[in-house]
Amino acid sequence: MAKTTVTRRAAWDKMYGAYLDLNQRLEQAQPHERDALERAVAAQQDALLNLNAPSFLAVMHKLEVLWEGQLDGLDQESEEKRLIVEDLSDLIAEGATIIGYTSPFAQAPGREEAAPKSTS
């Protein structure tokens, strides 16, 4: 079972890192590159959401991907979604502190610190 978790985590880390890289490239893209990168980001999102999450942090990132653009609003639904993500983030941080673990993807996109770029 541990091998399954390790395998799932490696697959998740690789795919999530690729998703972050594509988003960064999209932000810096020239107009003629945007269409292809937007399609690549959408395909990576679909693949990421279909991948089994190896941790609660991965579940939180899935929600952020799923709710992209819906967390910044001023309406009640946006606030509720932000609160869910914040609750998950707090619980994950508390659990990580207890066991002394720091994930390479602990910071979500758009937060104070950027997540590290994928090395693969």
Are 48 and 68 in a shared domain? no
In a domain, residue 117? The reply is: no
Are 82 and 45 in a shared domain? no
Pair of tokens at residue 63: 């929600």
In a domain, residue 119? The reply is: no
Are 59 and 21 in a shared domain? no
Q: How far apart are CA 74 and CA 54, in angstroms?
A: 32
Among 31, 54, 77, the domain boundary falls at: 54
Name 95's Cβ contacts closer than 8 Å, sequence gap at least 6. Answer: 56
Residue for token pair 């579940």 = 59
Q: How far apart are CA 10 and CA 72, in angstroms?
A: 30
| Number of domains into which the chain is organized | 2
In a domain, residue 13? The reply is: yes
Are 75 and 45 in a shared domain? no
Residue 23 near residue 109 (C-beta atoms within 8 A): yes
Residue-wise pLDDT for 107-116, tens only, equals 544 444 334 3
- The Cα-based distances of 27 to 31, 36, 56 in angstroms read 10, 13, 27
* pLDDT at 94 exceeding the cut of 80: yes
> Has this prediction a pTM greater than 0.85?
no
Q: How far apart are CA 38 and CA 30, in angstroms?
A: 12
In a domain, residue 115? The reply is: no
The Cβ of residue 2 has, within 10 Å, a number of other Cβ atoms equal to 6
Are 83 and 36 in a shared domain? no
Which range of residues forms the domain containing residue 9?
A: 1-54
* pLDDT at 120 exceeding the cut of 60: no
Are 39 and 68 in a shared domain? no
* pLDDT at 41 exceeding the cut of 80: yes
Are 66 and 101 in a shared domain? yes
Are 32 and 77 in a shared domain? no
